[in-house]
Amino acid sequence: MELAILKNRCTIFTWCHRKNADMSFFSQEMHSNKATENQWQHEWGEQMLFSHGSPNSCGTAILINNKANYAVLCTVPDYFQSSS
């Protein structure tokens, strides 16, 4: 399910929130980019961590539930994103 489409994002975000889990959700094939981060994080309503791929494929995100007890210790950019 391509999350670049608003309807698909709403469906996934609603499903995750309804799970009411004290955990994070991981999603691949996000089709995200730097320009979509703020909008998508606002729609999710909680913190998201992104690793963008190309506009046509790749990209992952971690959707973090605010109930989760966590700390981001560091982030490392992937300058060599593979397209395999």
Q: pLDDT per residue over 34-73, tens digit each? A: 888 999 999 999 888 888 877 666 788 888 888 888 888 9
- Structure confidence at residue 7 (pLDDT): 93
What's the predicted TM-score (pTM) here?
0.75
Q: Quick one: 51 exposed, middle or buried, by C-beta within 10 A (0-12, 13-18, 19+)?
A: middle
- Structure confidence at residue 34 (pLDDT): 85
DSSP assigned state of 12: H
- Structure confidence at residue 82 (pLDDT): 54
Q: What's the pLDDT band for 84 if we cut at 50, 70, 90? A: very low
DSSP assigned state of 56: T
